[in-house]
Structure 1
Amino acid sequence: MSAKRLSQGGEIDRRKKIRFTFDGRVVEGFEGDTFASALLAAGHKVVARSFKYRRPRGIFAAGVEEPNAYADLRQEGADAPRINLRLTTEAAVNGVALKSASTSPTALHDATGFIDLFSRFIPSGFYYKTFIWPNWHLFEPKIREMAGLGKVDVKATGPEGAQINHHCDAVVVGAGPVGLASALMLARAGKSVVLCDDQSRMGGSLLSREATIAGLPGAVWLQDTLAELRRLGVTLLPRTTAFGLYDHNLIALNQRAEGDRPEQLWRVRADRIVLATGAIDRPLPFDRNDIPGVMSAHGALTYLKRYGVLVGERIVLATNNAAGAEAALALAGAGAEVTLVDYRSTGEKLDAPRLRHLQGLRVTAAKGRKEVTAAKLSNGETLPCDVLLVSGGLTPTIHLYAQAKGKLRFDEQALALVPVTDLPGVTVLGGANGRFALDEALADLPAALGLEGSAPEAKGTPWDITPAWPEPSMPGRVWIDYQHDVTTKDVALAARENFVSVEHLKRYTTLGMATDQGKTSNLNGLSLMGQLTGRSIPEVGTTTYRPPFTPVPYVSLAGNRGGERMNPLRRLACEAEHRALEASFGDYGGWLRPAFYGRDEGAILSEARMARDSVGLFDASPLGKIEVMGPDAAEFLDFIYYNTVSTVKPGGCRYGFILSESGIVYDDGVLVRLDDTRFIVSCSSSHVAGVHGMLEEWRQDRFPEKQIFIHNATAETATLTVTGPKARDVIRAAGIEADLSDEGFRHMTTLWGRFGGQELRLTRVSFTGDRSYELSIRQDLAPALWQALHGAAKAAGGGAVGVEAIMILRAEKGFIVIGKDSDGMSRPMDLGLAGPLKNKKVEFVGRRSLLQDEAQRDDRNQLVGLVPSDGLGLLPVGAHGLDLSGAAPRSIGYVTSSYESVSLPHPVALGLIERGAARHGEEITLQHLGQRRRARIAPPCAFDPKGDRLNA
């Protein structure tokens, strides 16, 4: 192949040179090149090796249908290589290093090339037959190492992507003449339109083929149309592939990175999706049709018109359709000696300088090894050549249509599978619909789009084609799927072994799998299987096209979700007030919360002591506040909760557990009943999303006909807790209007009050064991409420307390934190709450699991308090209790929480210990990191067990 760069023509900027390396060799190109066009112009013939047989492969096409040319790219300063890049769609970049995918050491000199010598022994399916003995796993690592394209650097961190959610009236996929005209008609009708195309420039076939539209040359009409689309506000997305079409007209677009813009994933909901995706030039079948230098005729025309690259000097162009003539004339006009081998015996014979037109003949074989040297014809003539171009017909790009469950039919005139009918909200036009003549395709638009007016008229070449399918009797090695090394003999073997279902054929031979998704191979494979089994192509059927249409970088799918952007750290409405008090923050349940105030951790004990002795102000806003409303809310919550909650009177509260279906305690918290039909589920701050999801799932699954409404009000409501003996005085001093008498506002009740003329809710519950009030108010009013409460607390000898101080106070009372003082095996009976299982009359989530033998074992780990008895101070969290009665120590549970106490003369700890509820007073041995300790098992509640301080 003697490709060369022409001195003029194309979209490249010859004033701006670029240099990069390919397999260690320097390649020069120009700005505007793709890597493939630059490699072709530099004379690179072998750019890849085939998947299975490691045969030399060259560039076949110019777009996303390219089956061969993949490489890994490494750029100086980048954190990781970009792997598996299709060279035909990637813009050439200065200063990068390309490495051909999965070759060793290079594509031209690959050490595994000898495998092709043994190809007769490794046909399709040989893996399953050969490596079953003695054990597949002996061979699996090496086979997997050789498979695939590219090699992932698992330690590297790549660039970040971005994601966009968008809604519009219409998405038009494909910016060729039909797509452009469709977008223009829709925009003129007042529709909001997104027009996307996977090329760097919009125009489709107009960028490489001659056309006259609306009386204008195609290039002029293109520029005028793009200008009007911009004026009409159409969103134009070049370098963007529509890779998946999903339910409810969700279309996923991947916009490739360019300049400072990262990879972007567009999730677009559109009322209408127009697929003007065009068609793919498919290969012709003949012996050794995979040799480097066998190329798509349309690809060669694209390289000529867009990049100024003449792919060869002595060209044989074999075609069975009307599209080959334009390419032959253009290549001859650029200076190549062209022989047009026209499979059709009818039609006008071309007469042009440097062009020879042979009609009614076929190519039967290509000659050469690492580059094509000649083409053998059906009349026995051999034509020397340095490139052999093929055009075996157009295959509509109907992948997105098929993803949307669209059905296909075989069009005998087009010799292609085309859509049977439009789908709701999905319209297929132009080449994707089998309308290959431009004038016919444009004439279809008004009726197809349901719009008044007319589409622009065009001059089109009538479509004419003669069959040129692969045949079982063809001699030599005729390649059907270039990417997966599937030949006619492989398809014949599948038929002999009864893998005749189209899905079995795909998996047995790997035809049309992976990144290719059958773009150039599927139709030829289906035709061949039909001939082998006596069926037509429609009877053979088609495989299921799966998204993505082309590979999508993980960075695009991940977007910019990393660190806080993957799991955003939520912030309190009073963060500024906490910072003014020099709070030290920590991540608690996904919220940025004050751990303590000041820079000295000694403040933790001081805050806890202050809250016990006088009053503490705590920001409890992250606590869940999920409202469950409706006439059937009480029945619904009885099913959700382990406890019976429907008996709670309006204005009352009840502590309870929510279980998983396996009977494990998922969350705990206080349920508040505001009135007969309105409840508030107050769940743990880290479980809000999970509990909300569980409530919605059960509402939809078990109670679909009931009147139940669920609203998560956590984000819109702030909660401030005032705790301690002086809590009531502080609330009064802060100017809150409410009945705070013990007679009017008892423990475990709720009522409404006012602050600064605004409504707030007060709930009298305690997580510390002292008199406590939770005040819930609109988020935007929380800072003012905090300032009023904090001022009153300071005047009473108290102040702000952080999460760590609250943890000490709750541990002294034996109050648990789910996930810390429980584990993935904890049932409610293990935590001291057995009554509901015996007494509750109605069904609830997890009930059946609690009746299983495993849940009823008498040796389960149960919640206990632990008091150090060896005088060595604080017990380490995670220390295991030991049973030393046997030959070897055995774990009998572990310490879950441990703190210095501010109310007791010794540290406090909680743990899950085997049979713990029956072992109060017993002393056990604990072990942690090789050190053994002694502790006494006690009730979980170590402080004020009678609860007198709740009303102090």
Structure 2
Amino acid sequence: MTGSFRTASGGRIDRAKPLAFRFDGTTYYGFQGDTLASALIANGVHLMGRSFKYHRPRGVVSAGSDEPNALVDVRRDDARTTPNLRATQVELYEGLVATSQNRWPSLGFDAGAMNDLFSPFLPAGFYYKTFMWPAGAWKRFYEPKIRAMAGLGVAPTLPDPDRYTQHYAHCDVLVIGAGPAGIAAALAASATGARVMLVDEQAEFGGSLLAETGATIDGKPAQQWLADALETLAASGNVTLLTRTTAFGYFPHNMIALAERVTEHLASPNPNLPRERLWQVRATEVVIAAGALERPLVFPENDRPGVMLAEAGRTYLTRYGAKPGTRATVFTACDSGYRAALELAAGGVEVAAIADLRPQVHGDWAAKALDAGIDVRPSTVVTGTLGRRRVSGAHLAKLKAGAVGPAETVACDLVLMSGGFTPSVHMFSQSRGKLVYDPALQVYLPGTSVERERSAGACRGVYGLKAVIEDGYARGESAAKDAGFGAASPRAFAVEAAELGTDGFIGAVPHGRNPAFAKAFVDWQNDVTSKDIALATREGFRSIEHVKRYTTTGMATDQGKSSNMNALGIVSEQLGVGVPQIGLTTFRPPFTPTTFGIFAGAARGDLFDPIRTTPIHDWAAERGAAFEDVSLWKRAHYFPKTGEDMHAAVARECKAVRSGAGIFDASTLGKIEIVGPDAAEFMNRMYTNAWTKLEPGRLRYGVMLREDGFVMDDGVVGRLSHDRFHVTTTTGGAPRVLAHMEDYLQTEWPDLDVWLTSTTEQWAVIAVQGPKSREILQPLMDDIDLSRAAFPHMSVREGHIRGVPTRVFSVSFTGELGFEVNVPAEHGRAIWEAIFKAGEPHGIMPYGTETMHVLRAEKGYIIVGQETDGTAVPDDVNLGWAVGKAKRDFVGKRSLERAAMSAPDRKQLVGLLTTDPKIVLEEGAQIVAEPGVKVPSPTPVPMLGFVTSSYASATLERSIALAMIKGGRARIGTKLHVPMPGGSIEVTVVEPSFYDPKGERFDA
């Protein structure tokens, strides 16, 4: 029931818990503790996918996260389907449904395999050279076709119903990797009292110890020592243990991103648990114990199902109790192949031969193999394999003086290969540490560190179980010491284990065959062969970064795990230069593919772009308001009556404000409380105008610049007392302005005694505008006199309205008499309704943001971000009067003194009137001097400027527009033209204030 290739006993699987699963529609059985790959192997299934480019049959190569071939789609339901999962990492559970990818109509018969027949005509760089002709064909023909064929798995189309959470954590020592080095490092660091986090991507801690059969540590079998060590760590109280957790990104200042798979391995996940959890860990010190990856050998037909790494074959047998074959040929350049051969032979797998690339075979491993009756062949290479959907034989040939002799065919259904071990330096590289090449080991090792980290064990070239454990312990102790803790108790480890040598091979194995027809794969995932890399060097590429992009080797999710060193070896041989001179590719995060969901967390659906509403929102919705998004806020755009479109509603609202009164929700304005003895000095430095002499109870319009002198924000500021200011900002600029202020306060002026507090959501702001606004509000005031003499324009008073504390600003953004009533947000709707009821006899009317835009444009008032584009200085938008000429300094002052900032041909804010008053210009339309310009124009046209705001004014009974035009003020009274597809529109340049230019209605 559980597969004919399952061992009778052994492994870490739970044989008392059989599990049924489906792969490509067929039901199979495995055990608790299996991966999908190990369960399929135990059922004799080796064909698990098709290659990306040639659609060649592919099976597993590895047993871990470096697997390039066995990519599957795992489906729970229509919405829960995940493509491109490595079968070697998919934990088996009851009812798992997996499907192979990149094949049609079936895995066994894939029509795309025709590509393999045309492979001689599809070399590296084929796309770059072929799709250049005919001109323009890329967009019209090639790109749509290639995009339709590209990809491996199929992305789900339904919304993901699962939940993803994010968690922030701090620790003294973070240990990445829980193999023997990582376990030892955690033991040492935790013994000092440091807070330790130990994380590993596998379902169990232990790393290589999980497949260990003969070693002992401190007199115990390796796996018993592992169990005891984990028990000690769990009981310590200062260690966080995270399995199924991949450290996928190393960011500045020891910020490590971890992806924890919480319920992926469960048949019936708890709905209260997230599917995955993103940990963002800030660690004082980091120990990287990521181990090493076995390196494949590059020989012809090394991609057939049944060709895998020696350690992978051994792992499937000893850890999962799954025989990867019945008769094996081992091809090796190091001792790892011998260990695998001996353990497979002991497990019931016949070993036909060990082909050792090395010329001399000596030492204990060869002796053990010979004693076991295994045919050991030194100076021997595999020159090819037989079979289609599964390897059926290997061609072995002797190397003599560098030449390849005649090949002998050895029948086998399993080929194990080992080219040595490559330290996993991805995390170290991500930390911006500098790698150094070790010519003896033929690998890159961690060199100079940038962050507070250290590598331990095999990932820094330390091999041998005893050396790895002792190195891990020492590194864990040093990490705790550097984090401020004492030394751990001295500890010696008694380890008995068969040691492996450090031999290995990089590059392409000599095979003596025509390279045009002998596909020796370097990168299985991207179908890159040794021939492709050799071609890249002939094409003139010398840097491995360029070779990588030309051939795609080491790209995508592989990130050089299996292919990098062999690619470097081939380029080195082709160019006749050392590996360090070729360079090294960049290891980018994530270390392994990471779901989008874990990054989004809760930020999706309604929470993707958080919706903020004001206290008056529901009232506006009940009155049928149309809303628009302004920054993160929902704001009432206009209030249509039955049968009205936006233009009719806005015209009605504008007339109401000009003739009587309008009420407007301005709660979204940013509000910042600036308090402290140095508050006035702080304001003086942040804003262009002077603030020290502003009397309490008065308002002032403020302009804020960036360091480069360009307008950043504006707003009205009220001085409540000598040490307190109430600052308003634009709706969209509130967080930016507060961050700008905090940056200067904390980094440039820490001597100032000032506190900054965001009060945006503390206050609801009700703007009452129009000639009857005073008359409406005064009866509602408990203790504030709104008379013209007591409360002139640009003043602020504190008191009460209907018993509610309030701050009232006498300010206008419409050009009419106006007041802004600030009340605590929880009283916002009640006070709004009270004002509206009091105003009904006076014809008060609610208005929205569109009406506000029209009213302010009639006055020529700017909106930062609409009239300004990040390149406007105050004088450009007629705010030169707001720049304190006598001020010693303020942010942006020196930039304003540059000659270019006052050049006469700078774009300046002006008004435009169309010759035909019914024509409303398009915002963003370009402005030119001559009328004959066509749109689109075949030649570049010298543009004078552009329209920033344009509206139909019900008050003026015509269209109006604001524009930024080169030397605009000098052009007032002249005619210009706005080219449009329907013809050129003539405009007259005028002053930007169209309504009450003297401001006589402010105190009406």
Give yes or no for TM over 0.5: yes
For residues 794 and 215 of structure 1, do their structure 2 counterparts lie closer, same or farther at Cα, with a shift above 3 Å needed? farther
- Contact 2:335–2:503, Cα closer than 8 Å, also in 1: no
Matches for 1:98-137 after TM superposition, within 5 Å: 98-135=98-135, 137=137
Aligned equivalent of 1:181, options 175, 180, 184: 184
- Contact 2:463–2:502, Cα closer than 8 Å, also in 1: no
- Contact 2:673–2:759, Cα closer than 8 Å, also in 1: no
Matches for 1:220-259 after TM superposition, within 5 Å: 220-231=224-235, 232=237, 234-256=239-261, 258=264, 259=269
- AA matched with 1:103: R
Provide the aligned length of Structure 1 versus Structure 2: 930
- AA matched with 2:112: T
1:243 counterpart SS class? strand
- Contact 1:481–1:520, Cα closer than 8 Å, also in 2: yes
C-alpha RMSD over aligned residues? 5.4
- Contact 1:661–1:846, Cα closer than 8 Å, also in 2: no
1:407 and 2:434 correspond: yes
1:401 counterpart SS class? helix
- AA matched with 1:20: R
| Residue 417 (structure 1) aligns with | 444
1:506 counterpart SS class? helix
- Contact 1:322–1:461, Cα closer than 8 Å, also in 2: no
| Residue 521 (structure 2) aligns with | 479
Between the aligned partners of 2:605 and 2:86, the Cα distance in structure 1 is 30
- Contact 1:584–1:595, Cα closer than 8 Å, also in 2: yes
Between the aligned partners of 1:593 and 1:330, the Cα distance in structure 2 is 71
- Contact 1:242–1:251, Cα closer than 8 Å, also in 2: yes
Post-superposition shift, 1:215?
A: 3.5
Between the aligned partners of 2:981 and 2:915, the Cα distance in structure 1 is 19
Aligned equivalent of 2:810, options 764, 772, 775: 764
Q: Single out whichever of 57-66 and 154-163 deviates more from structure 2.
A: 154-163
Q: Single out whichever of 227-236 and 838-847 deviates more from structure 2.
A: 838-847
Q: CA-to-partner distance for each residue in 1:5-63, whole Å, 9 max, x for gaps?
A: 345544256644333242x5555545544332233233333333334444332211111
- AA matched with 2:44: G
- AA matched with 2:498: T
- AA matched with 1:686: G
- Contact 1:597–1:802, Cα closer than 8 Å, also in 2: no
Q: Which runs of 5+ in 1 are unaligned?
A: none
Q: Single out whichever of 227-236 and 651-660 deviates more from structure 2.
A: 651-660
| Residue 557 (structure 1) aligns with | 599
1:783 and 2:826 correspond: yes
Identical amino acids, percent of aligned pairs: 33
Matches for 1:171-570 after TM superposition, within 5 Å: 171-210=174-213, 211-231=215-235, 232=237, 234-256=239-261, 258=264, 259=269, 260=271, 261-339=274-352, 341=354, 343=356, 344-348=361-365, 349-350=367-368, 356=374, 358=376, 360=378, 362-370=380-388, 371-379=390-398, 382-411=409-438, 414-420=441-447, 422-449=449-476, 450=478, 451-454=487-490, 457=493, 458-470=495-507, 473-476=510-513, 477=518, 478-570=520-612
2:599 counterpart SS class? helix
- Contact 2:104–2:111, Cα closer than 8 Å, also in 1: yes
For residues 131 and 789 of structure 1, do their structure 2 counterparts lie closer, same or farther at Cα, with a shift above 3 Å needed? closer
- Contact 1:868–1:936, Cα closer than 8 Å, also in 2: no
Post-superposition shift, 1:633?
A: 4.4
| Residue 47 (structure 1) aligns with | 48
Q: CA-to-partner distance for each residue in 1:577-603, whole Å, 9 max, x for gaps?
A: 999999998755422467899999999
Q: Single out whichever of 811-820 and 566-575 deviates more from structure 2.
A: 811-820
| Residue 804 (structure 1) aligns with | 847
| Residue 87 (structure 1) aligns with | 87
1:18 counterpart SS class? strand
Q: CA-to-partner distance for each residue in 1:791-839, whole Å, 9 max, x for gaps?
A: 6875787899896368657745735683898596997999984765999
Post-superposition shift, 1:658?
A: 6.3
| Residue 18 (structure 1) aligns with | 20
- AA matched with 2:289: A
- Contact 2:615–2:829, Cα closer than 8 Å, also in 1: no
- AA matched with 1:362: T
Q: Single out whichever of 470-479 and 657-666 deviates more from structure 2.
A: 657-666
With normalisation by structure 1, the TM-score equals: 0.80
Post-superposition shift, 1:623?
A: 0.9
Q: CA-to-partner distance for each residue in 1:100-152, whole Å, 9 max, x for gaps?
A: 43333344323233433444444433444455454584474378448753255
Q: Single out whichever of 150-159 and 280-289 deviates more from structure 2.
A: 150-159
Between the aligned partners of 1:481 and 1:881, the Cα distance in structure 2 is 52
1:150 and 2:183 correspond: no
Between the aligned partners of 1:812 and 1:921, the Cα distance in structure 2 is 23
- AA matched with 1:225: A
1:444 counterpart SS class? helix
- Contact 1:179–1:276, Cα closer than 8 Å, also in 2: yes
1:862 and 2:911 correspond: yes
Q: CA-to-partner distance for each residue in 1:582-634, whole Å, 9 max, x for gaps?
A: 99987554224678999999999999999889988765332122467768646
Q: Single out whichever of 240-249 and 767-776 deviates more from structure 2.
A: 767-776
1:862 counterpart SS class? strand
Post-superposition shift, 1:426?
A: 1.0
Post-superposition shift, 1:388?
A: 0.8
For residues 464 and 881 of structure 1, do their structure 2 counterparts lie closer, same or farther at Cα, with a shift above 3 Å needed? closer
Q: CA-to-partner distance for each residue in 1:337-357, whole Å, 9 max, x for gaps?
A: 124627342225226997626
- Contact 1:213–1:456, Cα closer than 8 Å, also in 2: no
Aligned equivalent of 1:713, options 732, 736, 758: 758
Post-superposition shift, 1:571?
A: 4.1
Post-superposition shift, 1:156?
A: 4.5
1:686 and 2:732 correspond: yes
With normalisation by structure 2, the TM-score equals: 0.76
Matches for 1:638-653 after TM superposition, within 5 Å: 644=689, 649-651=694-696, 652-653=698-699
- AA matched with 1:375: A
Q: Which runs of 5+ in 2 are unaligned?
A: 399-406, 479-486, 887-892, 937-945
- Contact 2:638–2:847, Cα closer than 8 Å, also in 1: yes
Between the aligned partners of 2:638 and 2:130, the Cα distance in structure 1 is 66
Q: CA-to-partner distance for each residue in 1:178-225, whole Å, 9 max, x for gaps?
A: 222322333343333332211122222222223433433333333343
1:4 and 2:5 correspond: yes
- AA matched with 1:189: T
Post-superposition shift, 1:293?
A: 1.1
Q: Single out whichever of 524-533 and 82-91 deviates more from structure 2.
A: 524-533
Q: CA-to-partner distance for each residue in 1:361-408, whole Å, 9 max, x for gaps?
A: 534234213122223334565432110112221211111101222223
1:85 counterpart SS class? strand
Between the aligned partners of 2:803 and 2:554, the Cα distance in structure 1 is 70
Q: CA-to-partner distance for each residue in 1:876-906, whole Å, 9 max, x for gaps?
A: 99999999x999999997984569x8xx7x9
Post-superposition shift, 1:941?
A: 7.9
Between the aligned partners of 2:613 and 2:253, the Cα distance in structure 1 is 35
Q: Single out whichever of 395-404 and 683-692 deviates more from structure 2.
A: 683-692
Post-superposition shift, 1:165?
A: 2.9
- Contact 2:766–2:832, Cα closer than 8 Å, also in 1: no
Between the aligned partners of 1:700 and 1:808, the Cα distance in structure 2 is 40
Between the aligned partners of 1:417 and 1:149, the Cα distance in structure 2 is 31
Q: Single out whichever of 198-207 and 425-434 deviates more from structure 2.
A: 198-207
